[in-house]
Chains A and B, each alone.
Chain A
Amino acid sequence: MNGKEKLLYDIGVVSFVVVDLGLYLDTHPTDCKAMEYYNHYNHIRKQLMKEFSEKYYPLTMDMAECSKEWKWGMAPMPWEGECG
């Protein structure tokens, strides 16, 4: 795994935590311990998403801040895989 793949992998891991905790909190809306976990991992996720977008390409359209070329449109599509 190169640096880009590693960072994308880490984003996948931490995003999974956030999605799964989000669903748990939907049915346990007063579980403070779970909310602490959610806030912690959501913060890390935001940082990693920003880092990836600055180093490689924007993962969401609102992270695309371009001047010379529209990086959002040029970014690889997720179904391309490693050989894409």
Chain B
Amino acid sequence: MWNYEKRLQFPVNIKEPNAKLAQVIISQYGGPDGEMGASMRYLSQRYSMPYREVAGVLTDIGTEELAHLEMVATIVHQLTRDLSMEEIEKSGFGQYYVDHTIGVWPQAAGGIPFNACEFQVKGDVITDLHEDMAAEQKARSTYDNILRLIKDPDVCEPIKFLRAREIVHYQRFGEALRMTQDRLNSKNFYAFNPGFDQTPNC
């Protein structure tokens, strides 16, 4: 169950439209290392987690990713909402515009649609947590790449906030991995899958 709060996690108030930038930033909406993949990955991985604390980390980070998804969509929306037809043609936004007008649709910067193959649910706590840590670093790199393309401080500030959250989430997933390994045989963490090979208590 979720509750919605009618506010953004970090304020987004963009005054200048910029279709070129929107086409790049949309990758963090529906691209390979974007927030849609992040939220779906963590929220889907929860069910096969053998440890309640780790499932809790996935729930809370997965929930925060939904708030980030909304922030990225807001950035794209505000960068495209006041565009003239001339700007749409000049900026190369025409290819997106013809299918979606100025709606926000999950795709990568290169136009590839969002696909669940961009993340995995392996059903193995060690494997899944390693993927989660890698995912946070990949998202951080993407935000770094985006920041090199931005000059408008109205866009920079929320992107910097999102980048910083990737680092915090990486840290928390690292701690979740350590909590997991503390419960496994330190001589061979991969001896069995505790979410599958061991019968749960209840």
Contacts and interface: CB of A to CB of B under 8 A. Distances in A.
17 contacts: A20-B168, A23-B169, A27-B175, A27-B176, A28-B175, A57-B6, A58-B6, A60-B3, A60-B6, A61-B4, A77-B6, A78-B7, A78-B70, A79-B8, A79-B12, A79-B78, A81-B13
For the residues of A in contact with B, the DSSP-based class is helix
Interface stretch (B57-65, B84-92, B105-113): B57-65
What are the 9 closest A-B residue pairs judged by CB atoms, nearest first? Answer: A27-B175, A79-B74, A81-B13, A78-B8, A82-B13, A26-B57, A26-B56, A23-B172, A78-B7
A16 B61 contact: no
A35 interface: no
B53 A26 contact: yes
Contacts of B60: 19, 22-23, 26
B186 to A, nearest CB: 19
Nearest to A72: B6
Contacts of B10: 12, 16
Nearest to A77: B6
Given A78-B8, A79-B78, A62 B61 contact: no
Interface in B5-43: 5-15
Nearest to A78: B8
Contacts of A59: 5-7
Interface string A57-83: 111111000000000000111110111
With a 10 A CB-CB cut-off, give which of A9, A16, A26, A76 has the most chain B CB atoms. A26
For the side of the interface on B, what is the size category?
A: 20 to 34
Interface of A: 8-9, 11-12, 15-16, 19-20, 22-24, 26-29, 57-62, 75-79, 81-83
B119 to A, nearest CB: 20
A27 B168 contact: no
Contact of A60 (B5, B57, B176): B5
Nearest to B74: A79
A61 B8 CA distance: 16
A27 B6 contact: no
A1 to B, nearest CB: 10
Contacts of B73: 79
A70 to B, nearest CB: 13
B64 A27 contact: no
Nearest to B178: A27
A78 B53 contact: no
Given A26-B172, A78-B70, A16 B4 contact: no
A19 B179 contact: no
Contact of A23 (B6, B57, B74): B57
Nearest to B58: A26
